[in-house]
Every structure is written in structure tokens, then in C-alpha cells.
Structure 1
């Protein structure tokens, strides 16, 4: 994520839609570019539209371990940039925070809006990491949303250091998932990569994303 606060795509794998198909997806293209100069190999294209929009569902780990090394602050910076990008694209957003013994729906599914600094800044951390509760809540919320908008594509993003005892089952109502790994340094456990493989999800280390400073 660059200084301009635009989301870059952590996905490194090419999709079945080739480079020449659909319009350029700038959110995913900028994520693929990272800090490098933009070139043709970074381009990501949207597949031909099959529905009205995409819903991005973010699962934000707010447990105590995310306070180490400013992990939560960086995740909140990523979330702030994400909401701005999705607002410009007129896409939909849902945010679930999880900490302690429960998961909470911080933002119900709906069109992304501008001016998100206040509610994002208020997100606090502490306690354990109820990841399974977060996935279960996401499944309930997304199932309800799918019934209302059956043609909507759903992308799920987990922002976490994956410092929890049990890996949750994969979400059932997401068309694609990405795990953004905040567990860094010499004592990293590598559980996020294991989870991404178990979910058949994309994986990206958060240290490769240059998120803007949180406010």
C-alpha cells in the first residue's frame, strides 16, 4: 500500500481470465506492483461482469498479540486505505473484528462510504483470538447477503498474525479468500501460510505492504 493510500493486490497468481480480458482492476494491480515501478506484468484485469458488484469482507484480528510491533495500527492503516479505494470504486464492504471471546460485525455489508477515520481509529485490541467465531459470523452474514444479492462476487480477507491455537475451517460463502500475515520477525510461527494453504487462499506477508501511517 503506497503513500497515496491505494490498495495493492497481494495476489501473485494469475487468474483464469487472461491479461487481455476485462477492464484493468487498479486495486489489484497496485497491490501486485508493490513498491516497484508499474509495468505490464503487474496488470490485473477484471473478469467480465457476472453480477452487480463485489463485496469485500474483512476479518480484522483485534487480539492482544496484534498490539506487538504496531501490527494493529498497520492493519487499521490498511483498512482505512481499503475503504477509500472501495468507495471510489463504488464496491461493497463488510468488516468483522474479533478479540477476546467473540466476533463483532463492525460494518454490515453495504456500499463503502467515505470518511472512515473515526470508527477505524476507535477499534481497540486485547484478549484472545476467536478466529473460528469470526469465520462462523462471516458465514452467517455472507449467506444472508448472498440471498439478497445472488450475483455478487464475495472476496474475504483475513488480517491477522494467526496466533491462535486452532485453525478455523475455510469460509463457506466466499468466492475467494486472502490471508494477510502480520506475524513477522525471527519468532514468526508461519501459521498464516499454513492457513492459506488449508483454505486454498492467497497469501501475502504484511511487511510487503507499505501501509500509510494510521491516524
Structure 2
């Protein structure tokens, strides 16, 4: 954490470069500058794309029974308080999807948060299955609607989990960046969070690494 509060990680997702100014060549102007000469770097002209307008941070929180071990769910809630505070300070939208037991429910947003409420986590969790696939499908639907509503908005998908879930959901198409926060605390690590982040072209961080970011 910094003195001014949490800062978003840079991320290294596959879609990180989408929307950046100057990434696409504008061939008519380039060919006009080239004329009859061989193409050189100084002939290149690029499309001036509009910058991204704000961001949406969609948080998917694992509230299953395994997250109660070693107070991992309490730690995840503490990180969410900081993340929601950062979103509020930056005037970014946020959404919260919680999954545990047999349900995956939208608990907040998408909207600019005014703070944090404990009631968003109740009565989610308490053992049973870990409906990770339905949670990601719910997030994909939310991000798809956001892409239609505000196409210039940057869309982040945050997954806070210990990876102790079955199923391999598809990466949501409309997530520009993916960050998986790994809360695994077992003595024999499964490294599923790291595998998921790699499969989705995202970034995997432990809570300690996230907190230590300048």
C-alpha cells in the first residue's frame, strides 16, 4: 500500500495493449508519406485512438468453506476494502460477485462504490460445493453488458480464490485484464491459481505481493 492508497497493478494480460494509442498503422497516410520511395520507419503514420474512459473492476470472491481456513476469507475481505477504496478514489466502477455453497450471486454494482458493506458477503459461503464455473459465467455476462454499455471503458476481472474448486471455465471475452489473487494455504500446494492465470493470459499474485506493491 502507498500513502495515497492501493494502486492497480500494471498487469500483463493478453489484451493489455488493446486501445493503446498508436498501435495500428493508418496505411493511406503512411503510403502517402512514403510516395515512390522504399518504406522507412519515419513514413509510418498511426491511428489516433481515443483513450480508455475509466474502468470497471469486476471482483469474483470465493466464499466457500475452504477459504475459512487460516482466515483467508477475512484477508480477502480486507483486500477488497482497499480495492473498493481505490476504485472510489479513481472514480472507477466496481462489481462484486460472491460464490460459495451452491450459488454465485451479484452482490454489488456495477457502480462507483461509496464504501464497503459487510452485508454483501451474507449469507454466501458455509461449505458445500464451490461453484466457480457459474461465478465466472456470471462475470462474463456482466462484462459483456458493460462492453456494450461503455465500449471505451477498460474492464478488469479480479478472481480472489484458493483454487480449491472443480471445473475450468472459459476466459471471459470482454475482460481486458485478468488478475488472480492466490489464497491457497494448504501444506501441499496445487498451484491452480497460477495455472488459471497462465491459461487466461493474466497475472497471478499472492495477497502479500499485492499489499507490497508501491
Same fold (TM over 0.5): yes
Question: For residues 149 and 100 of structure 1, do their structure 2 counterparts lie closer, same or farther at Cα, with a shift above 3 Å needed?
Answer: same
Report SS of the residue matched to 1:138: helix
Cα RMSD, aligned residues only: 2.6
Match in the other structure for 2:119:
119
- Superposed, 1:154-165 pairs within 5 Å as 154-165=155-166
Higher Cα radius of gyration: 2
Indicate whether 1:7 and 2:6 are aligned.
yes
After the TM superposition, which of the residue ranges 167-176 and 72-81 deviates more from structure 2? 167-176
Aligned counterpart, 2:28: none
* Aligned-partner Cα distance in 2 for 1:136–1:51: 25
Aligned length, in residue pairs:
179
Aligned residue number for residue 168 of structure 1: 169
Give 2:150's aligned residue.
149
Q: Distance in 2 between matches of 1:120 and 1:134?
A: 15
Q: Structure 1 residue 121: deviation in Å?
A: 6.5
Moved more, 152-161 or 141-150: 141-150
Distance 1:120 1:169 in 2: 26
Q: Does the 8 A contact of 2:179 with 2:197 survive in 1?
A: yes
TM-fit CA distance, 1:96: 0.5
> How has the CA–CA distance of structure 1 residues 198 and 13 changed in structure 2, closer, same or farther, with 3 Å as cutoff?
closer
Aligned runs of 1:191-210 on 2, under 5 Å? 191-210=192-211
1:79 maps to 2:80: yes
**Compared CA separation, residues 100 and 49, structure 1 to 2 (3 A):** farther
Q: Compute the displacement of 1:169 (Å).
A: 1.5
Residue aligning to 2:64: 63
The residue matched to 1:80 in structure 2 has which SS? Answer: helix
Post-superposition offset of 1:154: 0.2
Aligned-partner Cα distance in 2 for 1:12–1:173: 16
Aligned counterparts of 1:122 and 1:5: Cα–Cα separation in 2: 30
Q: For 1:6, what is the secondary structure of its paired residue?
A: coil
Aligned CA distance change for structure 1 residues 192 and 183 (closer, same or farther; 3 Å)? same
TM-score (norm 2): 0.74
List aligned pairs for 1:70-109, cutoff 5 A: 70-109=71-110
Could you state the TM-score of these two structures normalised by the residue count of structure 1?
0.74
> What is the DSSP-based 3-state SS (H/G/I as helix, E as strand, rest coil) of the residue aligned with 2:97?
strand
After superposition, the Cα gap between the structure-2 partners of 1:85 and 1:197, relative to the gap in structure 1 and judged at 3 Å, is: same
Stretches of structure 2 lacking an aligned partner (at least 5 in a row): 19-48
